[in-house]
Structure 1
């Protein structure tokens, strides 16, 4: 039996990931990144900070303070924002930086891994905003048909 290098073992394991299989660990990752708060946080970390309701956030990914994220993400509770940011940090998608100021300033920034996901999430957010009227119309038609 031939021995494999660590790189070969990683490549074999990576090739074995198949989210269609029940036991695949990538399913848990898909569950995590499909959460609305994860999606919105990853999209927000790419905003230029000048987002106004009803407009699209655009710009290069940048560091954002916790308070900026909380203001931008209407409806997110402090507990949910904290839990979601911790999970993103644990997964290596964001980094957390604490500045020794008074009061302490905490900021979050996308990692390279998070940046690779950010671009897809931005596309998904834009698609949802662009096609919401169509989806609502289809829902209305469907609901009228099934009543």
Structure 2
């Protein structure tokens, strides 16, 4: 909550004409701060999940090698929320599941995480994406 208040205060004063900030060029430090705030507000734009999966012999479990890449320049994230979707042959979503990846994702980094999940009947394919994460200070 404090971080949100700080961001709102910063954005309010940075857009205020009384401070005449639009006539003076921004310093490198100001630009870095703005970029970091932008990255922290929308982690789903900077954390991307890819990888591959396979079924076990009986087809009741899936092994996922999830590759998470943090494309942010300055922001680190933790506890990313991964949404996994199960699709039928007709690409209809059969089920979905959200799980938290209890990892830290530094800027410009890639991590591979192995997941083992229950499979559903009539699943033809699955997909996954990062839908949220907590920015680190």
TM-score range, shorter chain: under 0.3
The structure whose RCO (Cα within 8 Å, separation 6+) is larger is 2
Structure with more helix by fraction: 1
Structure with more strand by fraction: 2
